[in-house]
């Protein structure tokens, strides 16, 4: 997971990085999660942005991550029903609403 740090575009504190890694580990270990690299990366980028804007509770991040993952990273969905996972650069920028 350490290799995710540079690609997130922001520096996270060790505590924030630990929280991010714990949430990612929990979500990506679920049997329904599409555990391809680009799915893990897109989820990590989204969660890193939430941490950056101040949402640091692991419980809150996990709830949001499950919601996003079921919609965007669920390997049970057929390939025709699922769009390519979007990174934070491709969806509405939350920092615009700060």
Q: Quote the domain boundaries for residue 8.
A: 4-97
Give me the number of domains the chain comprises.
1
pLDDT band at 4 (very low <50, low <70, confident <90, very high): low
User: pLDDT tens-digit profile of 32-91?
Assistant: 999 999 999 999 999 999 999 999 999 999 999 999 999 899 988 745 555 555 555 555
Q: Closest Cα partner for 8 from 81, 90, 87?
A: 87
pTM for the model: 0.70
Task: Count CB-CB contacts under 10 A for residue 46.
Answer: 22
């Amino acid at each position: 997971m350490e290799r995710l740090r540079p690609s997130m575009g922001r520096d996270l504190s060790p505590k924030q990085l630990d929280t991010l890694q714990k949430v990612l580990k929990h979500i990506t270990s679920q049997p329904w999660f599409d555990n391809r690299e680009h799915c893990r990366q897109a989820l990590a980028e989204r969660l890193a942005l939430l941490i950056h804007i101040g949402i640091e509770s692991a419980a809150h991040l996990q709830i949001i991550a499950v919601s996003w993952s079921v919609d965007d990273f669920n390997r049970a969905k057929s390939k025709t029903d699922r769009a390519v996972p979007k990174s934070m650069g491709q969806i509405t920028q939350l920092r615009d609403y700060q």
